[in-house]
Amino acid sequence: MRPLNVREAVRSLKRDGLYVIHDALSSAEVAELRADGHRLHAERPPYVREAIGGSAGFRLNLIPARLDRHHAWATLPSYGRVLGEPGIQAIAKGYLGRGWGVSNFIYDYSVPAGTELFTLHYDDFDGCVCLKVYAYLTDCDRGNGGFRYVPGTHRLAHWLIRRNRRTLNVPSTAGSSDYTEYDLATFLAALGASPLPPGLRADYDRVRAALKTADDHVIRGRAGTIALFDTSGIHGAGTHTEGDRYICRYHLVDRRYVLRHIPAQARPLDRWVSYTLSSIRRRVASLLPR
Ligand SMILES: O=C(O)CCC(=O)C(=O)O
């Protein structure tokens, strides 16, 4: 991978929720990642889950704990290819803070079906921050379901997620045990109904104008491009009408998420502090009058 400008990446992620690195991976690195995904799809080892699939396309989900259990790391040399890069590590630390971890890794290969691959949405990773490292393994553009991201929407969604927990009770549209997904209509309705703080009002107006042309927010790139994005921002894949599309993505999560959902990845000191604090909280709560 070519050297990355860490400071610029973190600044852009904070401002836009997105940072795109064109031609980040060499063609040999892309070929290695592509081959690993196809091989796993053909072999279907027990540590790989298929989220969707069929004869034409596949979406393979790899979880670090499952790879540990099956002693499978050696069979997947390309996994560390992107994540092991010092630039990616430094960006993850700069954006997510220390103690970040990896919740999962996905290979996603699709052929044209004339349908939208991922409707526009944002993800709530249990109120924590998730940064996706999304690598293009084919050239990606509007015709083959290009990835869309509406810059700046992550700030609004972060605010909404925090507030939703207390008051708004926005219903989710999809999800799993570790994250929840909300669609665009829900997002706009909830924001429209909320008294936004002055700093976010301008963001809201700008974002609403941008959302009318969401299809213009396709992030075009050649194979080897990497898009880093905060999953609280409005994003999704477009309609796939021509050519194949192959991407892989790493889901990186902050320390709070690691402690709650994947404690095996937490540093022993962090685990100890977290355990001690929650014991103290429980003890104090038990002493308070009901
Ligand atoms: O595959 C894509 O282009 C979109 C992926 C997506 O929406 C997600 O990771 O939440």
Residue 184 has pLDDT above 90, yes or no: no
Percentage of residues in the chain having pLDDT higher than 90: 50
> What tens digit of pLDDT does each residue of 203-236 get?
788 777 777 776 778 999 999 999 999 999 989 8
Q: How many angstroms separate the alpha carbon of residue 148 from the centre of ligand 1?
A: 9
Q: Which of 117, 181, 187 to mutate to test the pocket of ligand 1 (most atoms within 8 A of CB)?
A: 117
| pLDDT for 78 beyond 90 | no
pLDDT band (50, 70, 90) for residue 116: confident
- What is the average per-residue pLDDT within 113-138? 90
Least confident of 67-71, 88-92, 267-271: 267-271
Give the pLDDT of residue 146.
92
The 10s digit of each residue's pLDDT in 14-66 is 999 999 999 999 999 999 999 999 999 999 999 998 876 666 789 999 999 99
The finding on whether 67 has its CB within 6 A of some atom of ligand 1 is no
- 142 CB less than 6 Å from ligand 1? no
Average pLDDT, the chain: 87
Sorted by where each begins, the domain ranges of the chain are: 6-287
Is 235 touching ligand 1 by the criterion CB < 6 Å?
yes
Q: Is 147 in the pocket of ligand 1 (CB under 6 A)?
A: yes
CA–centroid distance, 165 to ligand 1, in Å, is 24
Ligand 1 pocket, residue 257 CB under 6 Å:
no
Rounded distance from Cα 98 to ligand 1 centre (Å): 25
Q: Categorize the per-residue pLDDT at 167 as very low, low, confident or very high, splitting at 50, 70 and 90.
A: low
- CA 286 – ligand 1 centroid, Å: 43
As a whole number, mean pLDDT of residues 135-149 equals 94
Is the minimum distance from the CB of 109 to ligand 1 under 6 angstroms? no
Can you name the CATH fold of 6-287?
Jelly Rolls (2.60.120)
Residue 148: CB within 6 Å of ligand 1?
no
More confident residue, 55 or 94: 94
Atom number, ligand 1, closest to the C-alpha of residue 118: 7
Cβ-proximal residues to 238 (8 Å cutoff; 6+ apart), any chain: 116, 117, 142, 145, 146, 147, 148, 215, 218
Ligand 1 atom closest to 148 (CA): 3
pTM: 0.89
**pLDDT at position 200:** 81
- Tell me the mean pLDDT in the region 92-106: 95
| Separation of CA 54 and ligand 1 centre (Å) | 19
